[in-house]
Every structure is written in C-alpha cells, then in structure tokens.
Structure 1
Amino acid sequence: MLIPWFALLSFQDVPPQYPGHYAATEMICPVGGETFQGPSLMHYSTFGAMPDGMPVGSILFPILLPECPSNGLPLFREFDADEAARLAPLLASEAWEAVRASETPYYRAYWLEKRLGDARNALWLLLSAGWEAKNAEDRERADRYGTEFVEQALAVTVDPSDLETIALQVRTVNALRELERFEEAEQLRTAIAIAPDAGGSGDRAARNREGWQMMLDRLAAPIARGDSSRFPIDMRGEREAAFRCIAPEREDVGEVPPLGDFEREYCATPEVAKEAKALRERLAEHASPAKSAK
C-alpha cells in the first residue's frame, strides 16, 4: 500500500508483521474460542486531525483491528455473551463471506455493528472505513463509503444540545464536500445549530462547542471554491500549511501531489511564506550534520 505523504510512520521488525507502535499479543476470539496473535497498540501521539476526523500523528489511522483468523471477526470492541451468540450465525453466512472478501476491516466492523443494533457506533466505524479507503488511494471505494455514510448520517435525528449528533453532522458536511456535492454541503453547513448548552456546562464543553463551530466556519471557503481535496490547505494551521507548501520540493517524503493554484497563492501569503522559510531553514540545519559526516 502506498503510504500517504501526510502519515509519519516508524516501522520496526515486530513479529509477526505489525508497525512498530504495535505488539503481537495473544488473543481469544469471542466466537469459537480460537487463540491467535493479533496487533495491540502500545503507544502513539497525535497532533491534529483531518476534516474527515482522521487523526494525524505518529501512526497511520485508523488503529489496526485484530481479526479472528477462522471467521474473520474484527475485534473492534468487546462483546457480551448475548452479542457473541448473535454474531455466530452472521459470521457463518454467505453475506459475511462476501463482505469479508471484498471490504476493508472497518467496513466489516461497521457491517456487523449495524446488525447488532448499534447504528450510531456503526456510523463512526463506517467513517473510519472511509479513512482506510482514502489512505489506500482507492477513490471508488472511498466515494462508495462516503455516499453510504452521508445517506445514513442524514437520517439521524439531530439534537442541537447533543455534541455527538452535532459532530456527526459536521462530518457529513465534509463528506458531502469530498463527494463534490457542494450545494448540499453548504445547505447543511448553514443549517447546523449548536445549542449554548450542548455537551453540558464547564470549560471542556465550551471548548468542544467552539471547536465544532470553528470547523463549520473553516469548511465554508473550501466549499465555496469547490475544493474536494481531503485536507484543504486553508483548513490547516500555519505550520501544517507550511509543510504542505514545501513538501513537493523535499526528497525525504516520497511522492506528493504538486501544489494547486489556490495552494500556491496560499503559500505566498506573508504568514505562511514566513513559516515555510523558517521550516526550510530548520530542515537544512537538521540535515547539515549528516552531510558533514559523509
């Protein structure tokens, strides 16, 4: 799989074949009792997120899901005895075999969660399945997952005082934007109202309300100019934007897309140009000891 330029990963030789932030751990499948080695996340850090909600950090999200080797059950959460009993016939069905053979791990988790009855959690799993598709640069699959997410999210009753439904609607605005359904995205964006008491009282709730309103405000410009890119440059902070500005000229980040017209204009703004200049200097200083050692 082609690793996106925005993902900063550290790979080590961890048996059997997991990235370095994971350890192979003995697990027991809740359906069938099979014992197997699965990935267990040991540590990671994040420093922001994309408009689709995918965190950006020291690992590539979403987090790897352990999967039972025989029946393919993804261990996306714990299951009680009743749920395990309900999963057994699902995992033995022809429909599951088709999904297992053709869809991503998080889509498979979504498929099962939806049938277990937790429609809200299933939607968040579907959102994560979209990250998998976009990370793999699979546009057909990403659009299909995005369309399915939008259809189901728009059917959820919105409670202006419930931050989870607000968050769901904000992610739907972005999904519509990425699907190039800009008029629908703007209609939904302007219709979202965040109640003054959404999420409860206190500083944390207030920061969450401000954060979601800020996301809505920042989506306005990309929607208006018809930008369907995954991470529009003007939705990043100045430092993150500067990384994008200089990425095409760097040799240590792999293949990256060239700057578009708007990105070039944005990179030329005084604040971002200043940050890009400072970033180039820091990178040159970091590289100079290695050069002198040769």
Structure 2
Amino acid sequence: MSTFSKITTPNGKTYEQPVGLFIDNEWVHTDATINTINPSTGEVICSVQAASTKHVDDAVKAANIAFERDDWSGISGAQRGDYLYKISQLIKRDQELIASIEAMDNGKPYEKECINVDVEQASAVFKYYAGWADKITGQYIGTEVLGSGRIAYTDPSPIGTVGQIIPWNFPFLMLSWKIAPALATGNTVVLKSSEITPLSALYFAKLCKEAGLPKGVVNILSGYGRDAGAHLASHPNIQKIAFTGSTFTGGKIMEAAASSNLKNVTLECGG
C-alpha cells in the first residue's frame, strides 16, 4: 500500500495526501489502517496507516537519537528560530489547501473557521515561537541576595523527547500550540493525532520535511488512543507528555506517566 493518496477536496483542490506514519523523516507503511470520514457526507476520504506500539518505539528512538545529534542540539536558538519561521511561511503559503483539508476532515466552515482561525493562527504561532527561540536565557543571582562571595544562576535546558496527543476538534491549531514551543526550546517531538482527524497533521509532516528539519526531530503518528496513545504516555524514554482532550483520558495519561518514569505532564482537559 502506498504512503500517499491522491485526493480532491470538496472545493476542487487536488493534492497528494500523506497517509503513512512519519518517523525519522520517512513515510512508514503499516498493516493496520484507519478510515478517516468526511463528516458532512459520511463517506470515507481515505485510509491512513495506524501505529502499533512498535511504531511508537521506533518514533521515540528516532526522536531520542535526533536530540543527541549536533544537527539539532548543537545548533543555536537563532537557527532553531529559522526552522520555525520557515514552517510558518510554508503554512501561510499552503493555507488554502490546509484549510480545505481541515474542512473536509473535521467539518468546520472553510473560510470562517479553517482559514481565518485555525490555519492563520497556526502560522502565527510558529512565527511567534521563532522569535522566542534565541531569547530563552537563564538568570544570574548576585551577592546582594545570597551574601558575600556567593553566586547562583539558572540555565534553562531542553528536556529531551516530548510526547504530544491532540484532539479532533482543532487538529492543526492544537498541533501548532504543542510542536512550536517544544521545538523553540530545543526538544524533539513524537505527536499522535486524533484517529478521527489525522489528515492535516500528516500534511504538516510534509512541510517539516520541506523546511529541512533534521530527521527525527518531528515524528507524526496516526493511531488509536488505546494502542499508540497509551504506549506513548507510559513510554520510559519520553521525558514529557502533553495532552488535550477529555478529563477521563487525561487522568489515565497522568497515571501512565507516573507509573513509568515520573515524566513531566501537561494536561488540558474537558474543554
């Protein structure tokens, strides 16, 4: 099975939709698939590859290796900002197509919500964090606080690989909120999209590759929460998990994170 599918959106835009998993800058085929549905018609748009626990392991391994390589962790904040700004401009360039994908897969109004809110703000989020990437500095604490002859300082450092799980209702915008700050601060990412609305996240992976991000820095998985999501949350080689979704699932993610390696957790639950 191909890892791309030729699709024509309801407003007449024909494009190559990635349907494979995006791991280590490669499109990966799996035996399992998920049908993604156009909610306005109930028809299948296409089938995307579904990640197993093994694919989560592969993505986490790729992200951890990328975090150790000089082509990511060895570059300056300004260089990270260049990548983020390039992604911002690619989103802006493709805003009509991305909004068409989002409207088809999610069901939101094309112009009022998809272009004017979700895609426009996603581009702005990457531009915003591009500006922050070279301004993340520590703090010097002098002798007037600690007493004569003593100094202290803080040195903000990236924590490593961040696992991210996003919901169905704001797929592209939620992706930007999670990925942009993680990259600006020097981390690597494994993101699982909602099994209901996976298409715009996979298209975003295509933009990451076009922007020249080093391999393994961003990995995008389609998959079910019970399989890929649960394994990502409990993975011992993930240093942080960020989740937006239901309060019930957020509680399960907190349990999984605590039972594995006490990873940092950020939860946005219940809307």
> One fold, TM greater than 0.5?
no
Higher relative strand content = 2
Q: Which has the higher contact order (CA 8 A, sep 6+)?
A: 2
Question: Under a length normalisation based on structure 2, what TM-score does the superposition of the two structures give?
Answer: 0.26
Higher relative helix content = 1
Structure with bigger gyration radius: 1
